[in-house]
């Protein structure tokens, strides 16, 4: 078995999907609804798929109030500081500074549309390729 997608209920899925595509290289695979209320987006390698949807019949988490270590999307970056600055210029909100872990990984956290926490990372020893 393998995971097909991770679903996130958000207030403005079209805005979040567009922002992730424009600024983090994701692409929309499918959308549904008229007008669209659900978007399936994939990372640049096509390995990870997120469903971003708005379902008012279900609780939409308060991502802004949520500790970023409770839930975040993590993206690999060759230059964490440069990508962080680019995302801040694109409207992301800072969530701390660039840090280095005891294991030698470089990390930074920002908040994108819907307040969703986005982690940028450069692993000293990559876990995936």
Domains of the chain: 1-58 (3.30.720.120), 61-129 (3.10.180.10)
Please state, in angstroms and rounded to a whole number, the distance separating the CA atoms of residues 46 and 29.
10
Report DSSP state, residue 29.
Answer: E
pLDDT in tens, 13-34: 999 999 999 999 999 999 998 8
What CA–CA distance (Å, rounded) separates 25 from 73?
Answer: 14
Q: Is the bond preceding residue 35 a cis peptide, omega within 30 degrees?
A: yes
**Cα–Cα distances in Å, from 127 out to 63, 78, 83, 105, 115?**
27, 14, 20, 11, 27
Res 66 pLDDT > 80: yes
pLDDT tens-place string over residues 68-124: 999 999 999 999 999 999 999 999 999 999 999 999 999 999 999 999 999 999 999
What average pLDDT does this structure show over 8-12? 96
Q: What pLDDT was estimated at residue 124?
A: 94
Distance of CA 129 to the CA centre of its chain: 18
At 121, phi and psi to the nearest 5? -145, 145
pTM more than 0.75: yes
Residues 91 and 69: their CA atoms lie apart, in Å, by 21
Alpha-carbon distance 38 to 21, whole Å?
15
């Amino acid at each position: 078995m393998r995971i097909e997608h991770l679903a996130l209920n958000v207030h403005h899925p079209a805005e979040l999907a567009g922002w992730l595509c424009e600024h983090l290289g994701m692409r929309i695979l499918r959308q549904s609804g008229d007008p669209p209320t659900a978007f399936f987006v994939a990372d640049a390698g096509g390995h990870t798929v997120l469903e971003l949807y708005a379902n008012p019949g279900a609780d939409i988490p308060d991502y802004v109030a949520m500790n970023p270590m409770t839930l975040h999307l993590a993206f690999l970056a060759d230059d964490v500081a440069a990508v962080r600055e680019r995302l801040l210029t694109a409207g992301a909100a800072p969530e701390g500074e660039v840090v280095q872990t005891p294991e030698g990984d470089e990390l930074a956290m920002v908040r994108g549309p819907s307040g969703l926490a986005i982690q940028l990372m450069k692993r000293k020893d990559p876990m995936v390729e």
